[in-house]
């Protein structure tokens, strides 16, 4: 308790520039932790939704019925959104009746690509903030440290005999900013690396699904079907 009170006292009695630096670092830390908790929920939900959709997609059911269920549910994200965009565009173009099979497939792929980019943009939102906090907080803390040490030594200009007791509080005050900078930076860097890896893995899954669904649409377009029907459990065959 004595050490904690001592640290609080040093912060309270610190110079205004050092207090400003500490305030900035604490705000950055709170912001990064808020982003960490929110992104953990969003990415975790995206992974679970992708697992559930893949189970439904490859269960052998009617894809038209799956599309209607997703459309009625509304507000879809992730892999379900990619499927919805691609299926809708394929069905819309197919109803025109005069479009070639390769144009049908290309239109569906463009629609899926748009949904893919929107989903990745949603998942990557705020990750840049974590990267910024992780990369700049140590330097902001170092700035506070340098300023505090300069102030501590400049106060000795009019002193004939300097002692360690005279400079110790100023140096301690200065080093606190470095510690707070590291406290803000380390969780942000760890979280950014973890979330970036998880988003990258989801992006690979989205790319793989886009290719698999494009193969299914290509087969139906070549056969002249109005819309894809049931799909088998294997990613490469149709029922």
Answer whether residue 131 is part of any domain. yes
Low-confidence ranges of the chain (pLDDT < 50): 1-2, 4-5, 225-226, 231-239
Determine the pLDDT at residue 161: 62
**What is this structure's pTM?**
0.80
Determine the pLDDT at residue 235: 37
End-to-end CA distance of the chain: 70
Q: Give CA–CA dist 32/38, Å, rounded.
A: 10
Structure tokens that stand for 107 in this block? 């239109």
Answer whether residue 193 is part of any domain. yes
Determine the pLDDT at residue 77: 85
Strand partners of residue 238: 231
The total domain count for the chain is: 1
Determine the pLDDT at residue 42: 94
Determine the pLDDT at residue 74: 78
Determine the pLDDT at residue 232: 44
Q: Give CA–CA dist 231/235, Å, rounded.
A: 8
Structure tokens that stand for 1 in this block? 């308790």
Answer whether residue 21 is part of any domain. yes
Whose tokens are 């939900």? That residue is 45
Output the CA–CA distances (angstroms, integers) from residue 233 to 59, 206, 238, in the order listed: 5, 18, 8
Q: Which residues of 215-234 are buried (b: 16+ CB within 10 A; e: fewer)?
A: ebbbebbeeeeeebeebeee
Answer whether residue 13 is part of any domain. yes
The vertex-154 CA angle with 152 and 155, nearest 5°, equals 70
Contact 176/22 with Cβ under 8 angstroms?
yes
Answer whether residue 239 is part of any domain. no
Answer whether residue 231 is part of any domain. no
> What is the number of residues in the chain?
239
Answer whether residue 236 is part of any domain. no
Answer whether residue 12 is part of any domain. yes
Biggest CA–CA distance in the chain, Å, is 96
6: domain range? 2-223
Whose tokens are 């110790």? That residue is 168
């Amino acid at each position: 308790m004595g050490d904690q009170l001592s640290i609080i006292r040093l912060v309270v009695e610190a110079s205004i520039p050092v207090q400003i630096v500490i305030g900035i670092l604490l705000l950055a830390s709170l912001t990064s932790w808020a982003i960490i908790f929110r992104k953990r929920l969003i990415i975790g939900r995206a992974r679970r939704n992708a697992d559930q959709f893949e189970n439904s997609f490859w269960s052998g059911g009617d894809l038209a019925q799956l599309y209607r269920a997703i459309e009625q549910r509304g507000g879809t994200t992730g892999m379900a959104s990619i499927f919805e965009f691609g299926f809708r565009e394929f069905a819309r173009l197919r109803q025109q009746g005069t479009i070639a099979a390769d144009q049908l497939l290309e239109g569906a792929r463009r629609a899926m690509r748009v949904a893919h980019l929107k989903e990745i943009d949603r998942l990557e939102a705020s990750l840049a903030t974590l990267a910024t906090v992780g990369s700049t907080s140590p330097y902001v803390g170092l700035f506070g440290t340098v300023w505090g040490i300069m102030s501590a030594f400049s106060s000795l200009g009019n002193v004939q005999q300097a002692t360690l007791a005279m400079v110790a509080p100023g140096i301690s005050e200065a080093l606190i900013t470095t510690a707070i900078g590291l406290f803000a930076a380390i969780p942000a860097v760890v979280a950014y690396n973890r979330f970036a890896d998880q988003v990258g893995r989801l992006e690979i899954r989205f790319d793989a699904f886009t290719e698999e669904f494009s193969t299914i649409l290509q087969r139906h377009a070549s056969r002249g079907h109005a819309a894809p029907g049931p799909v088998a459990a294997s990613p490469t065959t149709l029922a």
